[in-house]
Chain A
């Protein structure tokens, strides 16, 4: 169930459209299977690519024999480093600036060097996918293999401090004197946690379809974002520039289309682009399920394995005197990637002495990729479990411990919070979940042969806003079209944008059409960082305001207007009418009279980091997760019983899509706590379990009853809509709540994720039958 807790300050809009649990506009398409994946775009004369990945993790290609593959039936092209078009160099391991992380050259098939297992060594293009895959199997490669580094714990001594983390955060934060405070603290916890490699496992196979039409290259791909700074060029110009006989392609118009969820895959497009140019035909490079991890190419990307040291000390009342959160994370040897897994700890709890530090250990693996929620998803597993350990040591309820360390302002930035309802979320959650029934003595609640436990954890996620522009047009029939290069990666963007435009223009939902995912549309920040709704939504909100201004101005001056010569500076748009003072006109009728060709307007929003409000306020969404688990006392099997999340995330734009976002995150939290991991074989440097049978994500049977509650909030510091990001909030802390429930059930604290039964079993007592 979902509900929005009402308070004495309801923020209903005129129309009441914003916030309502509208069904997804794209829902019927998805349910019927009519929503297409990127590679399902139908084009004439399509060819298929298959990427052959390296069979060693480090070394060089000594010999590559493609003769048999080239002779194979239906094969059009076999491309290796010997015949691939010239591409820009890879460049330094540390990308000079944060925006360039998204735009830098990542050439493929440009060298005989192998830097990680399954790095592309050849691309086969054929008439069918099957022919390409079969021919790839005929390529003979001999490698000069070199010893590589694959074991994070073994090389922690080689860790270094990067210049910054992802998203441009400071590597370290140091306030006061943690060491002394910790030494003097009467109660303390110093716990080491480990999180594994995890790979993305989207439903859609990663695929890129590249097609030339004259001098225009259209790329259909699965992407979160079309327009990272310079993104158009990032996504297309590398492969395009690589095509020597089509010089200056990057100056021509490139069309990118994001039809679906997932992150853009540079490696694949870098292969697809040149291949398309060589063939003068469309080329789809797709993969099989085994590519999901690092197999057969590097398609989906991994969250890197990490070691966390979470240390904290309190006085006897449970007030933190010092808190430290250190992380050692794997990174690739050729491109630095530092997930901000300690950054959230800078804002979560009060403590006068505090340290957060990120360190990296280079391994011979592919670069990490952003997995939701970057930073919090792995970091909070460790941090919020360590808080649970501290509460137990103090003999305090975990919620009470957090309440006692609730900061009055951002503890490291020293600025006020825009809105922060963490305590309210925990208290409301405790009441609804029946937290008072939790037995504080772990391992002591049994139902039959099941051990029952309750756990909770806090959730925090920064609120971002990215630069975005939207264009909105109204035609003579009163139909509105909104266009922006935003994506809907399954989050409900189409629906909430429709609601925002309908609300602003006083029109029914059915009059609004939202078009996304095309790089010819105005640029947005895309989907990522939980900023999509606030960024694209604010831009559209402003575009609608601009449109209304244009309409009003024309209505007051046009000869044909029934509102001519009204002089109010404001009009009300509601119920498909425009009202100025005492006069009103139907919106469609008005447009027909004054602008038979309709009107168009644009609106924009600036990146949050550049705004005074962002500098003056600490802006985050918050929440509290609760979990109940049952652990089989004979086998150690862990099964979820129920979960609850109470969230404070600003104004909720659509109660249904918001709930879906949160339960998706909670489900991911179950996966992180109980099952998700990719195992790196330390002998070969390859990921062992690289298909969906062996890489476990929660099935329906693993997901219990889930309840989501949103506290009423309106964050007027965040953006014109009052909304804050919530897409990733559901996963932040969810896994820790599960882990804490397992401890409460069993009395066994497993500090290495995922918590599988083999880690519990040795400590589970044999209970008499």
Chain B
């Protein structure tokens, strides 16, 4: 770990300004990902601005009937909030499917969104990795890539975003509120927060240096039944091979609307808009769910080790949609 200086931010504006003032500064909150990366010297910040004690730890009702989740709300608290449990059950399911109890107690909402990929080549400084070291190549492309992306990847990077929470939030059309060093704020749809790798996998989000996430706003819960289904290699404490967040709204035997986000398949939570279109107005049937799954994975590309994710994602989506439609 490289030596660093540390300050505790007094306010959101001051935190943003403090990071913006130094190119080698970073925000730290729960530290559940950053500290690991610093020990391995994959992250080498010279200055840390601690935002974990900022008064951004509230969950508030919005005028529109949704919830505004402060960036510093811990994952455990968000999962346990009665309003989240009753109105956004798939968010609670996703949070509780992630990490371990200890990690969820430390991890913040914004930190969860901004956690970095667990690609083992990214984690290994001896290995080529375009995300860690621009232009060095991608060892995963022809390597051990069982956990890697089948959608939206590039020749430069096939890493996935590991969050469960973000997948549920993508399905819920969450919006990200940020604050910039000058104090100005802006709102980013969650679908625009993470970037696909293209030729610049080291650029992971739309945030500028020093721009800090202040809150995540959840619109009023959409009609329909919500289900989050995570498929993993063991029962607990494993990243998703594939996950599906689905909300199905029915009218009689027909589907009125559906929202679907897939995790474990791309560098961002993957919103399956084609599949959603396929389902709108269709009869709630095995055939419709199968068609939707085919549509969602139509552009998927495997790299040998992760080929199985394509049929796995389809099968998972099919039965998750069926589960969401069952009593919707």
Contacts and interface: CB of A to CB of B under 8 A. Distances in A.
Interface of A: 55, 73, 130, 133-134, 137, 288, 290, 449, 634-637, 639, 674-675, 679, 681, 683-684, 686, 688-691, 693-694, 696, 698-702, 756-758, 761-762, 766, 768-769
Contact of A693 (B118, B231, B286): B118
A761 B39 CA distance: 38
B318 interface: yes
A659 B2 CA distance: 47
Contacts of B143: 681, 683, 688
Contacts of A636: 312
B241 interface: yes
Contacts of A675: 233-234
B1 A702 contact: no
B33 to A, nearest CB: 11
Given A689-B144, A694-B118, A634 B234 contact: no
Contacts of B242: 635
A732 B239 CA distance: 30
A761 B289 contact: no
Nearest to A693: B118
B303 interface: no
Interface string B298-328: 0000000000100110011011001000000
Given A130-B1, A681-B143, A702-B235, A689 B312 contact: no
Contacts of A766: 315
Contacts of A690: 120, 124
A769 B231 contact: no
Contacts of A133: 1, 39
A757 B234 contact: no
B234 A758 contact: no
A315 B274 CA distance: 59
A508 B146 CA distance: 57
Nearest to B237: A699
A134 B233 CA distance: 34
B234 A134 contact: no
A667 to B, nearest CB: 12
A702 B234 contact: yes
A675 B1 CA distance: 31
B236 A700 contact: yes
19 contacts: A134-B1, A635-B316, A635-B319, A637-B231, A684-B126, A686-B126, A686-B127, A688-B120, A688-B144, A689-B120, A690-B120, A691-B123, A694-B120, A700-B236, A701-B235, A756-B233, A757-B308, A761-B311, A761-B312
B40 interface: yes
Size category, B interface:
35 or more
B142 interface: yes
A757 B232 CA distance: 9
Interface in B9-66: 39-41
B86 interface: no
Contact of A698 (B3, B234, B241, B312): B234
Nearest to B305: A758
Contact of B144 (A679, A698, A761): A679
B312 A683 contact: no
B234 A681 contact: no
Nearest to A768: B286
Interface in B221-262: 231-239, 241-242
Contacts of A683: 139, 142-143
Given A688-B144, A696-B233, A758-B146, A769 B39 contact: no
A interface majority secondary structure: loop
A449 B139 CA distance: 38
A761 B237 CA distance: 22
A366 to B, nearest CB: 16
A681 B140 CA distance: 10
Given A635-B315, A757-B233, A769-B322, 20 more contacts: A55-B126, A133-B1, A133-B39, A137-B2, A634-B316, A635-B231, A635-B312, A636-B312, A684-B127, A686-B124, A691-B123, A693-B118, A696-B233, A699-B235, A701-B235, A757-B241, A758-B308, A761-B312, A762-B311, A769-B318
Interface string B128-152: 0000000000010011101000000
Contacts of A137: 2, 41
A700 B318 CA distance: 29
The 4 closest A-B pairs by CB, nearest first: A701-B235, A758-B308, A701-B236, A55-B126
A675 B118 CA distance: 18
Contacts of B308: 757-758, 761-762
A126 B298 CA distance: 55
Given A688-B143, A702-B234, A757-B241, A769 B289 contact: yes
Nearest to B311: A761
A692 to B, nearest CB: 9
Nearest to B146: A758
Nearest to B99: A693
A699 B233 contact: no
A681 B144 contact: yes
Contacts of B120: 688-690, 694
A699 B231 contact: no
A301 B242 CA distance: 32
Nearest to A699: B236
A134 B3 CA distance: 8
Given A699-B237, A769-B286, A634 B319 contact: yes
B256 to A, nearest CB: 19
B39 A288 contact: yes
A290 B242 CA distance: 26
A290 B42 CA distance: 13
A134 B127 contact: no
Contacts of A288: 39
Nearest to B120: A688
Interface string B155-172: 000000000000000000
Contacts of B234: 674-675, 696, 698-699, 701-702
Nearest to A290: B40
A452 to B, nearest CB: 17
A699 B308 CA distance: 24
A686 to B, nearest CB: 7
A693 B142 CA distance: 22
Contacts of B239: 693
Contact of B231 (A679, A702, A757): A757
A698 to B, nearest CB: 7
A127 to B, nearest CB: 14
Contacts of A701: 234-236
| Most interface-central of B123, B234, B308 (chain A CB within 10 A) | B234
A683 B128 CA distance: 12
Nearest to B142: A683
| Most interface-central of A637, A702, A762 (chain B CB within 10 A) | A637
B162 to A, nearest CB: 10
A639 B235 contact: yes
A689 B144 CA distance: 9
Nearest to B319: A634
A632 to B, nearest CB: 8
Nearest to B44: A137
Contacts of B315: 634-635, 761, 766
